[in-house]
C-alpha cells in the first residue's frame, strides 16, 4: 500500500479542537470556493488542513476509538456548515440533486480534490443528499 504524501502528513494526521472549531466554520462566510492550488506551500497550509477536516467530517467515516461524542458533535456542526455552504452556492429552494451536483462540481468544471473533495460516486452523492435532507426542509424536492 502506498502512502499519499501529496498533502504533508503534518497537515492531516493530528488535529486540535481549535482546528475542528475552525474547520466546521470554514465555509460559513464563503460566497465562492477558492480553487485548490497544487503547490507545496498551499497543500501544507492551514487553509488546506481545515478543508481536509471539513471534508472528513462531511463524508462517511466512523469513530473507532475514544471521544466518539466529540467526533459526533463536530460532525453535526460540519453538516450544518455544509447545508449553509449549499444554500450559498445553489440557493435554498434548489432541488437537492442540483445542490449535490453543485457541491461535487464547480461552475468551471472542477471537482473532487480540485474543488471541495467530494467524488462523483453514488455513495458520496447519497451521503451528501442524506445530509441535506436531514438538515433542511426543501420544497423543491
For 29-72, how does the pLDDT look when each residue is reduced to its tens digit (9 = 90+)? 777 788 888 888 988 899 999 999 999 999 988 888 888 999 99
Burial 41-70 (b: 16+ CB within 10 A, else e): eebebeebbbbbbbbbbbbeeeeeeeeeee
CA angle in degrees (0–180, nearest 5) for 102-29-106: 20
pTM of the model: 0.87
Sorted by where each begins, the domain ranges of the chain are 10-135
Amino acid at each position: 500500500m502506498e502512502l499519499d504524501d501529496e498533502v504533508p502528513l503534518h497537515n492531516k494526521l493530528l488535529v486540535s479542537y481549535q482546528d475542528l472549531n475552525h474547520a466546521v466554520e470554514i465555509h460559513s462566510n464563503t460566497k465562492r470556493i477558492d480553487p485548490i492550488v497544487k503547490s507545496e506551500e498551499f497543500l501544507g497550509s492551514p487553509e488546506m488542513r481545515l478543508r481536509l477536516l471539513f471534508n472528513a467530517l462531511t463524508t462517511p467515516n466512523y469513530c473507532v476509538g475514544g471521544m466518539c461524542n466529540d467526533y459526533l458533535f463536530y460532525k453535526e456542526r460540519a453538516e450544518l456548515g455544509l447545508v449553509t455552504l449549499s444554500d450559498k452556492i445553489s440557493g435554498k429552494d434548489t432541488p437537492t440533486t442540483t445542490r449535490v451536483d453543485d457541491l461535487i462540481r464547480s461552475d468551471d468544471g472542477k471537482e473532487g480534490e480540485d474543488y471541495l473533495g467530494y467524488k462523483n460516486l453514488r455513495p458520496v452523492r447519497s451521503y451528501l443528499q442524506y445530509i441535506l435532507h436531514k438538515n433542511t426542509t426543501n420544497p423543491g424536492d
